[in-house]
Structures are given as C-alpha cells and as structure tokens.
Amino acid sequence: MRAPRWAATLLMATCFLRSEALAKPPAIISGPLRCGINGYMWPHSADAGPTATVVGTIEMVPDGHGKFISGHMTQHAADDTHMGGSNVCIFDLQSGTYTQHSDGTTTNTIIWKLRPGSDSHCGAIVTDSKNLGFSEGARDFHGFKNTSTSYILEDGRVAWVGASPQGVGIGVCQPATK
C-alpha cells in the first residue's frame, strides 16, 4: 500500500524541521544564574582517583551579548590547617566574556579577584602557594583567569567544565530565583 503524497510531504517537512531545530544551537541564557562548583585535584598517579578539594557556588549575570556583567564566587576549600578543614574564599568578578559556538557549546573566560575579608588562608590558593598555612600579608592579590566550556542541557540548565594545572572543576547553572 502506498502512502498518500501529502503524508510523504508532511514526513519530509517534519524531518527537515527537526534537523533544522537540532542544527540551531539554543540561545545564550541571559539574566542571573546560580551555579554549583565542584573542584578536584588531579590524581597523584594513574591508578588513583581525583581528590575533591572545593565545593561552592557562583552567582553571576550574563548580558546575553557575550559579557558577564556582575558576579561573585564562594568556595569552601579543603585545608588541613583548620579544625574542620575548610577555608571560605569569596571572589568578585573583575571581568568575563563568553562566546557561543555553532555546536551549542560556549567558551567562558572569567577573571576573579579575592574579596577582602575572605579566610586568610585563601591567599595561598590565589598565589599558588604550596603552603596552605600561608600567613596572610598584603591583601592586594591580582585577579586570576579561569576558562571553561559550557553545554546547554536538554532541560535548559547549563553544565560547565574547566581545567587548570591544579585540577578540574565542574558544575551546573540554572536561572537564579529571587
């Protein structure tokens, strides 16, 4: 039995529209975002797993045109020099840009600066000191650059991953609610 001509046309149109929708990446999210942070130090050997070192949040605002216009990041970083083992480090956004690619991924480049009043041990993290018991001196630390790649998930959340010589970070962002 042969399908009517209109059914074949409808099927072709549906396939075309579906492939067109998949080829067009989702729009960049603009407006306030709240993101989770999970940081891991590189494994010490090929047979070891990564060491969890940081958990926290990022709150920032992308403008929908390639810039992050405001934001801050709070990290709870592992530290064996404290009872309970955690430094609370707060960073402010100095600048940030993002570029969306045709495959739907986004490249992010963000510069953070340690906020005065953060735990005194946070300076060791910013300056890459080997001694996390670093005694804080001047608080005038330079900003540090963080690069990552984002992926828009099917449910509209934004997943991201970044890597550095210290380790890897992953997280998920969603629109912030007031």
What does 93-109 look like in DSSP terms, one character per residue?
Answer: EEEEEEEE-TTSEEEEE
Mean pLDDT calculated for residue range 77-87: 65
For residue 22, is pLDDT > 50? Answer: no
Spell out the residues 6+ positions from residue 88 whose beta carbon is closer than 8 angstroms to its own.
74, 75, 76, 118, 119, 122
More confident residue, 2 or 40: 40
Spell out the residues 6+ positions from residue 80 whose beta carbon is closer than 8 angstroms to its own.
132
Span 98-122, pLDDT tens digits:
998 988 899 999 998 888 777 766 7
First to last CA, the chain: 59
**pTM higher than the cut 0.85:** no
Q: Look up residue 22 and give its two tokens.
A: 């998949």
Distance of CA 25 to the CA centre of its chain: 19
Span 25-79, pLDDT tens digits:
445 567 899 999 999 989 999 999 998 888 999 999 999 899 999 999 998 887 6
Instruction: Give me the domains of the chain, ranges plus CATH numbers.
Output: 32-175 (2.40.128)
What does the chain look like in DSSP terms, one character per residue?
Answer: -PPPHHHHHHHHHHHHHHHHHHHSPPPPP-S-EEEEEEEEEPPSSTTSPPEEEEEEEEEEEE-SSSBEEEEEEEEEEE-TTSTTSEEEEEEEEEEEEEEE-TTSEEEEEEEEEEPTTS-TTHHHHHTT-S-TTPPP----PPPEEEEEEEEE-TTS-EEEEEE-SSEEEEEEEEE---
